[in-house]
């Protein structure tokens, strides 16, 4: 595949304070774009990161055909660059695209674009545990026409944002009793932009009550715990780790599936099954609920300190041997080429 490359005249890297990065606010010098026209992906190119124009009637603005991925590039002490299970992201963006009646991005477009871009942006990937270049591949419907049907033209793009290890402070959450982020037969399993939009308003109500996130429950009964904000969710009851099984309401997280595998590798009792709100509250009341944490690429693992449901609120005590810390360290060591990678998750670029 021939990628047309137009380099930036003057890198802006020297103006970036890599010790004070606000997640997702700074972008690297270049971006990758490929157009979908007449039934095929054409004109792959790398250009300076910059605004671009679209028709006001572009369907993405009206009917929300937009899907994305979140990945990271890591650098080890020898300046080698790695991705973590990128095949999973490739498969998932195409599952998401299929659900929104969008064309799948071609494998060479996705991977050649990603590799070429990363080689150009090497300097933007800083060494050190926690530093990474966050990668945001996405597909949007660009065809100008406000007919309510799938577009015939799209753009696949990749933009890059340098990130530091992310610590959002103590997280307390409300278990959803009214709102839902997804429903049976819906698009919850897709990384669709609209899923995030649907979540902002209920989350802002939670903020007003002093909670940072919402634990999403199943839309029909609100009895089963499914996701933590935009992360998958794990519970530790006694020494047993439990996470909800994937379904069409839950996003199939790469971090989640890696934790499940690491639990098996390390003889930690792991159950993938439905978890009820009452089970968690009962376990909390008798002191058996040791930990709750969310998992996702951006924060890796985000421990949850407390939760509220109905009129009850609970605080979780700090654990000396925390599973959250254990899995975070295991994952980081694999991602940063500091430990053995027996499943071949690390991919050198
Ligand atoms: C992206 C995402 C996750 C986490 O997926 P990872 O592959 O682990 O980053 C979990 N839930 C939702 C809703 C997401 O959008």
pLDDT at residue 235, rounded to an integer: 98
pLDDT at residue 113, rounded to an integer: 98
Tell me the C-alpha to C-alpha distance, in Å, between residue 346 and each of 203, 253, 335: 34, 16, 6
pLDDT class of 345 with cuts at 50, 70, 90: very high
What domains can be seen in the chain, in order of their start residue?
A: 4-163 (3.30.470.10), 172-335 (3.20.10.10)
Please count the other Cβ atoms lying within 10 Å of the Cβ belonging to residue 183: 13
Closest C-alpha among 278, 283, 172 to residue 238: 283
pLDDT at residue 166, rounded to an integer: 72
Ligand 1 pocket list (CB less than 6 A): 70, 191, 227, 230-232, 251, 253-256, 295-297
* Long-range pairs for 102-107: beta carbons < 8 A, 24 or more residues apart: 102/65, 102/67, 102/139, 102/141, 102/150, 102/151, 102/154, 103/36, 103/39, 103/41, 103/154, 105/34, 105/41, 105/137, 105/139, 105/156, 106/41
**Mean pLDDT estimate for the chain:** 96
Q: Which residue has its alpha carbon closest to ligand 1 atom 13?
A: 230
pLDDT at residue 168, rounded to an integer: 67
Q: Which residue has its alpha carbon closest to ligand 1 atom 12?
A: 230
Helix (H) or strand (E) holding 203: helix 193-208
pLDDT class of 165 with cuts at 50, 70, 90: confident
Cα–Cα distance for residue pair 5/121, rounded to 1 Å: 13
Cα–Cα distance for residue pair 331/190, rounded to 1 Å: 24
> Rounded to an integer, what is the distance from CA 185 to the centroid of its chain?
21
What is the pTM (predicted TM-score) of this model?
0.97
State mean pLDDT over 166-193: 92
pLDDT at residue 269, rounded to an integer: 98
Structure tokens at 104: 């799948």
State mean pLDDT over 78-91: 98
225 exposure class (CB count in 10 Å sphere: 0-12, 13-18, 19+): buried
Place of tokens 């982020």: 181
Instruction: Give 240-261 pLDDT, tens digit per residue.
Output: 999 999 999 999 999 999 999 9
CA of 231 to the centre of ligand 1 (A): 5
Instruction: Give 278-287 pLDDT, tens digit per residue.
Output: 999 999 999 9
Q: What is the DSSP letter of 14?
A: G
Q: Which residue has its alpha carbon closest to ligand 1 atom 4?
A: 296
CA of 296 to the centre of ligand 1 (A): 5
Structure tokens at 341: 């990678």
In the chain, the percentage of residues whose pLDDT exceeds 90 is: 98
Query: Do residues 254 and 89 lie in contact, with contact meaning Cβ atoms separated by under 8 Å?
Result: yes
pLDDT class of 212 with cuts at 50, 70, 90: very high
- Residue 191 CA: nearest ligand 1 atom is 15
For residue 9, the SS3 value is coil
State mean pLDDT over 72-99: 98
> Rounded to an integer, what is the distance from CA 201 to the centroid of its chain?
20
């Amino acid at each position: 595949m021939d990628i047309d490359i137009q380099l930036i005249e003057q890198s802006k890297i020297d103006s970036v304070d890599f010790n004070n990065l606000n997640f997702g606010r700074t972008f690297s010098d270049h971006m990758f774009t490929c157009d979908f026209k007449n039934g095929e992906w054409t004109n792959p190119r790398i250009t300076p990161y910059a605004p671009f124009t679209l028709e006001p009637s572009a369907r993405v603005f009206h009917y929300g055909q937009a899907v994305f991925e979140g990945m990271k590039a890591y650098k080890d002490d020898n300046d080698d660059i790695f991705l973590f299970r990128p095949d999973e992201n490739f498969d998932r963006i195409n599952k998401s695209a299929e659900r929104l009646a969008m064309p799948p991005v071609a494998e060479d477009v996705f991977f050649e674009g990603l590799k070429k871009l990363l080689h150009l942006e090497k300097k933007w990937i800083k060494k050190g545990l926690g530093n990474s270049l966050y990668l945001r591949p996405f597909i949007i419907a660009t065809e100008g026409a406000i007919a309510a049907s799938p577009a015939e033209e799209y753009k696949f793009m990749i933009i890059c944002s340098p990130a530091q290890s992310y610590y959002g402070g103590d997280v307390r959450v409300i278990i959803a009793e009214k709102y839902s982020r997804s429903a049976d037969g819906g698009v919850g399993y897709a990384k669709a932009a609209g899923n995030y939009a649907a979540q902002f308003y209920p989350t802002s109500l939670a903020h007003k009550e002093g909670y940072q996130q919402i634990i999403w429950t199943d839309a029909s009964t609100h009895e089963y715990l499914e996701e933590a904000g935009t992360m998958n969710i794990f519970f530790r009851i006694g020494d047993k780790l439990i996470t909800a099984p994937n379904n069409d309401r839950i996003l199939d997280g790469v971090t989640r599936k890696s934790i499940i595998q690491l639990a098996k590798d390390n003889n930690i009792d792991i159950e993938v099954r439905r978890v009820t709100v009452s089970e968690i509250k009962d376990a909390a009341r008798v002191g058996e609920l040791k930990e709750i944490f969310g998992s996702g690429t951006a924060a890796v693992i985000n421990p949850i300190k407390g939760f509220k449901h109905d009129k009850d609120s609970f605080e979780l005590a700090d654990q000396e041997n925390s599973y959250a810390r254990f899995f975070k360290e295991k994952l980081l060591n694999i991602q940063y080429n500091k430990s053995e990678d027996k499943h071949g998750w690390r991919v050198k670029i």
